[in-house]
Amino acid sequence: MAEKRKRTGVEWLGGFTAMPAYVTGEGEPYRPELLLWLSAEAAVLGSVVARPGELLGQACESLQAAIDRPLVGRAHAPARVRVASPELAEALRAGHPGIEIVCAPTPEVDELFRAMLETIHAADETEPSYLSPPIGPETVAGFFRAAAELFRSKPWETVPDDQSLFSLTIEKLGVKDAALSVIGQMGKSLGLILFSGIDDFEAYLDAADAIERGEEPAMPPTFALNFERGANLSTALQREIAEHGWEVAGEEAYPWLVVVDEDFVARPPTADEVAIAEALARALPRVLEDKTALLAAWSGGESVARTLSVPTHVGEVEVSLRVPYEQEPTEHEATAHETTRRRPLPASVNLPAVNLPSVNLPSVNLPSVNLPSRWSRSAGSRPADEAVARTKSKNQRKAARRARRKKG
C-alpha cells in the first residue's frame, strides 16, 4: 500500500495497547486493542480499535486512512513513522515502502495512553449489575442459592488457612487441576479464590511479596467468589437483588464474582464461569462434612478425594475435589503407577483478597477515539497496605519455600 499524499519532513508516531477493560455482550469477553497515530506534537491523527491480534493486519490501512483523512490538519504523509513494536514496524515497512519506519521507544505514545486510561477510569458512572446478555435472572438465582449454601457451611472455619488447598476438576466446564484457596480465616474477606494451577497460586504469593516491597506486582489470572456486607453494595445492586428475590444467607453473605487477568484488569464472569462457581459452591459444603479426614490430609495423612454430582442451572455437573492439592496423573504416569503430587505450600500467609463487583460501562469517548460499548473497568482491589497487613511472616514463607525446593 503506497501513500498518495505528498510527504512532509515531519515524523509521526504510532503505537498500540490493550485497553484496561473488557467488551462483553459479544460472546466471550475480550480486551480490545487500540492503535493510534500521533503527530510530532502528540495530536491524534488516526486510530482504530480491534479485537486482540487483529491490529497488525489493519495497521497499514489505518495509517493510510490517517494520511488521507487526518483528524487534525490537512491530508499529508509523514517522512518517517516511529513505533516501539518490531512487529508493527515490519508490517508498516511492507505496506508503506515510501515511508521510513523506525523502531524506537515512543514515550509520547505511552504518555497519551496513560492519560486515556485515566479518562476511562474517571468515566465509570454506570450502575453495576449481576446481569448481562448471556447471564439472565435465573442463572444468577441459581448462583445465589448455591452461594448461600456455601456461606452457611462456613468453609473458612473448617479449612485451617488459605494455604490448605483443594485440587478442583470439573471436566464438563473445562476445569482441570485448578488450585482452590479458601480465604477469610481472619474473619474478613470471606470467600474462595480459584487459580488455574499451583504455579499461579505461588505467583500470587510472590505478588504479595512484591506489594510488600513497594513494587508493581506481576499478578496471575484469578477467579474469585467473595462475600460482602449488603450495606457495602451499591444501591443499584441491592435493588436488583431485592427485585429478583435472590437468596442471601445473611447480611454479610452477599456474593459476587470477579475474574482478574494478568494485567490486573477485571471483567464480569462468563456464563460458564457462573456455572463453575455454582457447581463448586454446591460441592464444597458436602466435602467439608468430613473435617477430620481433611485436616489429617493437610497434615500429611492419607489424601481425600471426592467426586460429586451436583445440580446447577446448566444441569447436573460432576465435581472432583482432592486434598492435599494434587494433579491427576497423566496416562503415562498412571501406567507407571506414579502420582504427581505438587510440592506443599508454606503456611501462615493470608492471601490479599481480590474485591471488585462486576461492572458494565457504557461507551467512552476519548479525544478522537470512540471505544466499544459495555466496558468493564480495571480492578479496584483493596488498598495495597491492607494486602500487606494481611500477609503474615514473609520470612517464614521464604524459609518454607527454600525448604520445599531443597526437598525437591
Of 204, 189, 112, nearest to 156 (Cα)?
Answer: 189
Say how far apart CA 325 and CA 10 lie, in whole Å: 60
Q: Which residue has the higher pLDDT, 230 or 340?
A: 230
Distance from the first to the final alpha carbon of the chain = 57
Q: Could you tell me which residues come within 8 angstroms of residue 75 by beta carbon, excluding any fewer than 6 positions away?
A: 5, 67, 68, 69
Peptide bond just before 324 cis, omega within 30 deg:
yes
Top mean pLDDT of 138-142, 212-216, 260-264 is at 138-142
Q: Could you tell me which residues come within 8 angstroms of residue 300 by beta carbon, excluding any fewer than 6 positions away?
A: none
Grade residue 126 by pLDDT with cuts at 50, 70 and 90: low
Is residue 54 a contact partner of residue 44, using CB atoms and an 8 Å limit?
A: no
Residue 158 cell numbers, joined? 473448617
pLDDT in tens, 151-166: 999 999 999 999 999 9
pLDDT in tens, 365-381: 333 333 333 333 333 33
Which single residue is written with the C-alpha cell 515511508? 99
Kindly state the average pLDDT of the residues 160-183: 96
Say how far apart CA 298 and CA 324 lie, in whole Å: 6
Say how far apart CA 360 and CA 215 lie, in whole Å: 30
Residue 107 cell numbers, joined? 514515550
pLDDT in tens, 88-112: 999 999 999 999 999 999 999 999 8
Sign of CA dihedral 326, 173, 147, 207: positive
Residue 170 cell numbers, joined? 470439573
Fill in the amino acid letter for 303. Answer: S
How many of the other CB atoms lie within 10 Å of CB of 326?
17
Which single residue is written with the C-alpha cell 496423573? 329
pLDDT in tens, 291-310: 999 999 999 999 999 999 99
The overall average pLDDT reported for the chain is 80
pLDDT score of 67 more than 90: yes
Is residue 98 a contact partner of residue 3, using CB atoms and an 8 Å limit?
A: yes
Of 147, 223, 209, 218, nearest to 179 (Cα)?
Answer: 223
Structural domains of the chain ordered from first start: 11-122 (3.30.420), 137-407 (no CATH)
